Amino acid sequence: MCCTRIEIIGLKGFPDVKKGDDIGKLIVEIARKNGVELMDGDVVIVAQKIVSKAEGRIVDLDKIVPSKTAYELGEKLGKDPRLVEVVLRECREVLKAESGHLIVLTRHGLVCANAGVDASNVDGSGIRVSLLPIDPDESARRIRKRIRELTGKNVVVVITDTFGRPFREGVVNFAIGFSGIAPFRDYIGKPDRYGYIMRVTRVCVVDEIAAAAELIMGQGGEGIPVVIMRGVKFDWDEKAGLEQVIMNRSKWLFR
Amino acid sequence: MCCTRIEIIGLKGFPDVKKGDDIGKLIVEIARKNGVELMDGDVVIVAQKIVSKAEGRIVDLDKIVPSKTAYELGEKLGKDPRLVEVVLRECREVLKAESGHLIVLTRHGLVCANAGVDASNVDGSGIRVSLLPIDPDESARRIRKRIRELTGKNVVVVITDTFGRPFREGVVNFAIGFSGIAPFRDYIGKPDRYGYIMRVTRVCVVDEIAAAAELIMGQGGEGIPVVIMRGVKFDWDEKAGLEQVIMNRSKWLFR
């Protein structure tokens, strides 16, 4: 009898990413420096921050002129009105603006604080902030394609960011875009160990992959922005994207 | 330069657990059969279902007499009124009863569907259901103590169950009780890679561990109810418990 294994491998020594950097190429190079050759079926998890940096999604708050709404919200929440202005531009709708929190629905359909706009781990922090990629699925596709060009290997790419949760303390890493993988493992209609047909269980594996990767990624000065997971069982899907993971608003029970 | 690694190891061949079974002893035995010797600092993740079975937290719906409220809710939601009765007995409060969903606040403070009462993977499924352990932190402590008695090794134990999330499709595995580990990795007040002092990031590592473990656990006929994670960096904490992860109601933004 042999156990089943997954390995989570954190790549050390990632350089400071600048606008225009080729993330796919960097991943292949840094993996090799870490003694890791990418393999077919590897899941490559990439922190949103380096994708945003490479795509130039960095904003200098000094160049932002806040609207009246942004001033009012900033005052109410104790936030820099220029930051609020950037958040408002990134979001489809403000869901909650209270107790110092600005929870919004982003253009991608994500529900998160500050539309994912974040000052940490950006050079010139506090004045310069990073925005989420415009289309994280497309970012994932591009990185995946580049890895394939350079190595011939068919990997999956998942781009992640940490968000809070409504009823639990602390943040957890979530998938915000992906390429090559079906987001769910579906048990609906399958028998359990006693033959009972399960009716509801659909596991969001891309979010579980994101969460697992964060255990190595960390977030501070020792950050590891790229993690490889090897041995994950998943279904390939060339057309899947974040949209499937976003719950349609008509199904929201909590507002 | 060497990469950082975590291993997730699924133990195969777990027997059908019965009331009174010694889960700690079973884990040690099955680990050995899988060629795995537990080590200090291993994280042992245990699916709620086998803990509930060992603790006799199985209810025969045929023996339940539903209240008037349970009948009414059952009719409204299209659910078996006996199941609804069991859920009502397990919960502190019903938060949402609409669109076929019964979302409650459990006695532990968890917000989840059906108070975690579940018919899958219980012998006699459909008629017999499992309830969550009464005190999952205590269950974790007991399993951990037993593993220490039998092996001399100091491990962490995390008990998990899968729940849905308000704005995202699919379920994900969450920690519902744990022993030996601080639930959060805290970045508040620590510098990022540019020296910027982070103000808000507290990562809920026990939930990330739970999510990671589910990638191997699966849920169907091939379920692997116990997973070992090796190489996870965490802070030891002998006093920590689920209560810290539960967001105080006064902080809820979504209701």
* Interface test mutation site (partner A, options B1, B2, B8, max chain A beta carbons within 10 A): B8
Rounded CA-CA distance B68/B52 in Å is 28
Query: What ipTM was assigned to the predicted interfaces of this complex?
Result: 0.96
Bridge partner residues of B49 (DSSP)? none
Residue B19: predicted pLDDT: 97
Q: Report, at the CATH architecture level, how domain B1-47+133-243 is classified.
A: 2-Layer Sandwich (3.30)
When pLDDT is averaged across residues B154-176 and rounded to a whole number, the result is: 97
When pLDDT is averaged across residues A18-26 and rounded to a whole number, the result is: 98
In this model, does residue A159 exceed pLDDT 60?
yes
Backbone angles phi, psi at A171, to 5 degrees: -100, 160
Residue A167: predicted pLDDT: 97
Q: Which of residues 19-78 of A touch B (CB under 8 A)?
A: 33-36
* Residue range B8-57, pLDDT digits in tens: 999 999 999 999 999 999 999 999 999 999 999 999 999 999 999 999 99
**A131-134: long-range contacts, CB 8 A cutoff, minimum separation 24:** A131/A52, A131/A57, A131/A58, A131/A59, A131/A86, A131/A90, A132/A48, A132/A52, A132/A57, A132/A90, A132/A106, A132/A108, A132/A161, A132/A176, A133/A48, A133/A51, A133/A52, A133/A55, A133/A57, A133/A159, A133/A176, A133/A177, A134/A55, A134/A57
When pLDDT is averaged across residues A119-123 and rounded to a whole number, the result is: 80
Rg (chain A; Cα; Å): 19
Rounded CA-CA distance B164/B45 in Å is 19
* Residue range A221-244, pLDDT digits in tens: 557 999 999 999 999 999 999 999
Distance to chain A for B38, nearest Cα, Å: 13
SS (H, E, C) A91-154: EEEEEEEECCEEEEEECCCCEEEHHHCECCCCCCECCEEECCCCCHHHHHHHHHHHHHHHHCCC
Residue A75: predicted pLDDT: 97
Q: Which of residues 95-114 of A touch B (CB under 8 A)?
A: 95-96, 98-99, 101, 103, 111
Q: Which of A11, A24, A43, A61 is nearest to A160 (CA)?
A: A43
**Any A CB within 8 A of B189 CB:** no
* Residue range B119-134, pLDDT digits in tens: 887 877 668 999 999 9
Residue A198: predicted pLDDT: 65
When pLDDT is averaged across residues A15-24 and rounded to a whole number, the result is: 96
Q: Which of A132, A214, A204 is nearest to A173 (CA)?
A: A214
CB A204 within 8 A of CB B166: no
**Any B CB within 8 A of A198 CB:** yes
Tokens in use for B190? 């620590």
Residue A244: alpha-carbon gap to chain centroid: 15
Rounded CA-CA distance A58/B103 in Å is 40
* CA distance to A160, B51, B150, B158, per residue, from B54 (Å): 37, 5, 18, 16
CB B14 within 8 A of CB B206: no
pTM of the full structure: 0.96
From A2, A167, A214, residue closest to B208, measured CB to CB: A214
> Which residue bears the tokens 């007995």?
B89
CB A85 within 8 A of CB A78: no
Fold of B58-132: CofE-like fold (3.90.1660)
* Residue range A178-222, pLDDT digits in tens: 999 999 998 777 777 777 766 667 999 999 999 999 999 986 555
**Size of chain B in residues:** 255
For residues A218-234, b (16+ Cβ closer than 10 Å) or e, as one string? bbbeebbbbbbbbbbeb
Q: What residues in A contact B121, CB-CB < 8 Å?
A: 192-194, 196
Distance to chain B for A149, nearest Cα, Å: 24
Distance to chain B for A124, nearest Cα, Å: 8
> What are the sequence ranges of the domains in chain A?
1-55+133-247, 58-131
Rounded CA-CA distance B183/B159 in Å is 13
Q: What is the mean pLDDT of chain B?
A: 93
CATH class of A1-55+133-247: alpha beta
Find the farthest-apart pair of alpha carbons in chain B and give their distance in angstroms, rounded: 66
CA angle centred on B247, ends B246 and B248, rounded to 5°: 110
The DSSP output letter for A235 is: -
Rounded CA-CA distance A53/A171 in Å is 22
Which CATH number describes the domain made up of A58-131?
Answer: 3.90.1660.10
Q: What residues in B contact A9, CB-CB < 8 Å?
A: 3-5
Q: What residues in A contact B223, CB-CB < 8 Å?
A: 192-193
Rounded CA-CA distance A28/A26 in Å is 6
Q: Which of B146, B185, B201, B158 is nearest to B46 (CA)?
A: B158
Q: Which of B99, B44, B89, B51 is nearest to B69 (CA)?
A: B89
* Interface test mutation site (partner B, options A204, A226, A247, max chain B beta carbons within 10 A): A204
